Structure 1
């Protein structure tokens, strides 16, 4: 369908724009460099000739591809985020193209002996004979979610050049700061004007998701007392020892590396410590709402128990909800999932319907009144040097977007 070389060219032009977000920033977008990507997209949407192309003061980009049918069809949306994760460097990305992948190890960086191997990343074996785009081993790739943006843009371009494919109004949205959990915070659902939407932000070809984690962040603060160690007996309180007790008191097997599917976890992702004060930063995740609430209670009870044990009030925790499982909002309108599933089957893809072990703009948007399942973008190993995307998966994502637009128009024929 879409031209392979054009798709590759567009994708590389996007990933080579540095647009990492910053969780420590209080602004939206969280980094000035995200404006570079946002403004590029606005320029290209205008060049395509779309209607209502806009960018607001927080760098949310929206546009409309007007429908070409003579009956009422619900306006539907396609959304991706243009920031890349701060988990690993996204500066000076140098994508590598591997045509006709032979199924063996890919040398990403010979000098540093960085290898992308199917012995470790077994999903690579699915793509033998295809064209893979990888990193050079020194940065992430940015397919999360510039693959999604590429696919939406290529689908729009295809529909414009093929007016025989009938569709209703298509709303296009690109957001900042998804990677730091703020992608939908300032999204104007009313202005967007869609009845429902799809985020193009999944991984493996065929993924179709309408469940995600309930999510919270927790910051545990432990206060100690610093005294000269030579004269410290009975006086010094080492906050790092108490922090160790806290860490070891949480269920050791309920961590990301020991869980899968719908299993939840506690994840310690940052520690800053000294004798006088230690801070532990956790994320809390669970698909089940009751289990999610129980996890928060476990942390609060542990703080109380340790304070009692140490006969102190030196340990405290602040827990803040981040997003919730969108299943509650999507299940009442399951036809929107059914359309996406049918679209995949019609273009020769076997849908993989499973819960997201993470979050997506769609989870927040669903609670803001815009039901929003998630569709594959094709990439693998996000957020690090081993990230890659098969070009053929990206082409199929374009086909799915086009087919969803076409099927929606057909199903609402009056």
Structure 2
């Protein structure tokens, strides 16, 4: 696998603006690029559900080896700041942005590795298992594209999502449920100097509730955070309204939902104590999963990594990915390290030799020695 070709392909993708829900140009480019190596990417029509200007891209490549198909997945959107990205190459093979935007290695390094692996298998006529590809939109917005995708189009029950930071060989086999919430408290305004007793202070209710609630690491598998609070209209006015927003994550779905109910109940109790009203909003963004380390996905990954002289390192993560969605559709998968570092920042970087290494691991997964 040619590192210069990989670097050029990656740099071309990086130069395309593809913030979440604005993936049109990226989708069009990927369809052309994959067609050049004999792979037809089919675009679905999920735009109405996701709000994107493009659909998810998928493909099925027949295999010459017997066995069930394997699914490789990545996403084409990037977080902001993402307008005007460009790849800046360094002599040691590291690639950064110019420091004013993210690089987009999350997840264009993953897209590049899948492309290069498939190109290699096709050009060398290497016998391989049937391959399925899914490149989603809106992944950074709680997996919008993957959630909207029609999984009747997928035959694979084994998946590898190229979307993890860390040393090459690492793989996440468990990820959390993530729920977000908003507590909207409605009190009553009054003059804070002359008639404070006529008011109902929404901030007071919020403070009393927050003081009782666990935050940070609730246990080794669960975190909770109140991240935003706003309210009031002046220091001389009893606060009429207040909004508190936060999230809960847990590797155990039931634990997350129980803690969410504790948050709701606590806010409700404190609001009622002072005669205010509560409007509670909550959203299940992603559902926890854990792929058994005895699964085909873990066993095959361990072998594919070993072919590269590496040792697979299985870990749990507190970040979500499209793999959370796959698990809800009966697909056992791993999220694998893909040379994306300091993601979601302007210091993001990748290394071309590592992308090449990931591409070889993907090729090994599609064409296992044991087959």
TM-score (norm 2): 0.88
The answer on whether the counterparts of 1:212 and 1:363 sit within 8 Å (CA) in structure 2 is: yes
Describe the SS at the equivalent of 1:392.
helix
- Alpha-carbon deviation of 1:190? 1.8
Counterpart of 2:71 (choices 77, 83, 88) is: 77
Root mean square deviation, CA, Å? 2.2
Counting matched residue pairs gives 355
- Return closer, same or farther for 1:252/1:324 CA change in 2, 3 Å cut-off: closer
The answer on whether the counterparts of 1:84 and 1:142 sit within 8 Å (CA) in structure 2 is: yes
1:224-247 CA-partner distances (Å, limit 9, x unpaired): 323455544212334344334433
1:386-413 CA-partner distances (Å, limit 9, x unpaired): 2111222211111110001111xx54x5
Distance in 2 between residues matched to 1:399 and 1:248, nearest whole Å? 52
Counterpart of 1:48 (choices 26, 30, 37) is: 37
The answer on whether the counterparts of 2:7 and 2:352 sit within 8 Å (CA) in structure 1 is: yes
- Return closer, same or farther for 1:243/1:17 CA change in 2, 3 Å cut-off: farther
- Return closer, same or farther for 1:39/1:240 CA change in 2, 3 Å cut-off: farther
Q: Which runs of 5+ in 1 are unaligned?
A: 22-30, 101-130
Q: Which runs of 5+ in 2 are unaligned?
A: 47-54, 233-238
Q: Which moved more, 1:269-278 or 1:173-182?
A: 269-278
Give the structure 1 partner of residue 90 of structure 2: 98
Distance in 2 between residues matched to 1:393 and 1:248, nearest whole Å? 46
The answer on whether the counterparts of 1:189 and 1:369 sit within 8 Å (CA) in structure 2 is: no
Give the structure 2 partner of residue 143 of structure 1: 105
The answer on whether the counterparts of 2:216 and 2:225 sit within 8 Å (CA) in structure 1 is: no
Counterpart of 2:180 (choices 203, 217, 241) is: 217
Give the structure 2 partner of residue 296 of structure 1: 260
Give the structure 2 partner of residue 18 of structure 1: 17
- Alpha-carbon deviation of 1:333? 6.6
The answer on whether the counterparts of 1:76 and 1:170 sit within 8 Å (CA) in structure 2 is: yes
Give the structure 1 partner of residue 283 of structure 2: 320
Describe the SS at the equivalent of 2:214.
coil
The answer on whether the counterparts of 1:45 and 1:63 sit within 8 Å (CA) in structure 2 is: no
- Residues 5-404 of structure 1 mapped to structure 2, 5 A cutoff: 5-21=4-20, 31=21, 33-51=22-40, 53-58=41-46, 59-69=55-65, 72-85=66-79, 88-100=80-92, 131-163=93-125, 165-181=126-142, 182-204=144-166, 205-229=168-192, 231-254=194-217, 262-274=220-232, 275-310=239-274, 312-327=275-290, 330-331=291-292, 334-404=295-365
Distance in 2 between residues matched to 1:269 and 1:46, nearest whole Å? 45
1:248-267 CA-partner distances (Å, limit 9, x unpaired): 43224438xxx8xx532112
Distance in 1 between residues matched to 2:162 and 2:348, nearest whole Å? 17
- Alpha-carbon deviation of 1:90? 1.1
Distance in 2 between residues matched to 1:318 and 1:331, nearest whole Å? 34
- Alpha-carbon deviation of 1:61? 0.5
TM-score (norm 1): 0.80
The answer on whether the counterparts of 2:173 and 2:293 sit within 8 Å (CA) in structure 1 is: no
Distance in 1 between residues matched to 2:228 and 2:89, nearest whole Å? 34
> Is 2:366 the partner of 1:405?
yes
Distance in 2 between residues matched to 1:289 and 1:252, nearest whole Å? 17
- Alpha-carbon deviation of 1:293? 2.9
